[in-house]
């Protein structure tokens, strides 16, 4: 097995971060259900929702890098900068795109009723609320801390 593959397979920061993202996605059907919606496994593939899997991923990476390389390292600073961009995008830009899609869908329905294009629906749940992003951040940090400080000591 090539060295780069061995190194990648043994990168616990990578795999715990991916695990955090996957678990966050798997939680979505349950959180939608707890909010009063019908339980549906289809929420696993949704963007948006509680918690943010993107936020869980990048916060776990930043936490793992900080523990491994030091919270005063340039690598930690890079990881935090990337996490800040991803979480800002999730709660800002993508959230606004979803709001715009909702308005456009309403306009299409109102203005073009009966026209086939009125049946076209843009995806409205694209981003996250700040609460969903915060929950993802807390989840990612907690999972990495659990792995690094409790399970993998």
Q: 2-37: per-residue pLDDT in tens?
A: 888 888 888 999 999 999 999 999 988 888 788 777
pLDDT category of residue 117 using cuts at 50, 70 and 90 = low
pTM: 0.77
Residue predicted with more confidence, 110 or 138: 138
Q: 67-101: per-residue pLDDT in tens?
A: 999 999 999 999 999 999 999 887 776 666 667 77
Angle, alpha carbons 43-46-50 (nearest 5°) = 75
Identify whether the C-beta of residue 146 lies closer than 8 Å to the C-beta of residue 20. no
Residue 105 — φ and ψ, nearest 5°? -60, -40
Q: Collapsing DSSP states into helix, strand and coil, what is residue 128?
A: coil
Tokens of 17: 């971060």
């Amino acid at each position: 097995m090539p060295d780069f593959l061995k190194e990648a397979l043994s990168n616990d920061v990578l795999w715990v971060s991916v695990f955090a993202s996957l678990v966050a996605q798997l939680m979505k059907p349950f959180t939608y259900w707890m909010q009063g919606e019908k339980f549906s496994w289809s929420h696993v593939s949704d963007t948006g929702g509680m918690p943010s899997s993107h936020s869980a991923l990048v916060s776990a990476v930043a936490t793992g890098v900080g523990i491994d390389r030091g919270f005063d390292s340039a690598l930690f600073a890079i990881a935090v900068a990337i996490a800040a961009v991803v979480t800002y995008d999730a709660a800002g830009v993508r959230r606004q795109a979803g709001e715009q899609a909702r308005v456009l869908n309403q306009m299409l329905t109102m203005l073009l009723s009966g026209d086939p294009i009125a049946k076209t629906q843009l995806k409205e749940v694209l981003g996250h609320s700040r609460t969903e992003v915060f929950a993802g951040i807390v989840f990612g940090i907690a999972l990495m801390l659990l792995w690094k400080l409790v399970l993998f000591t």
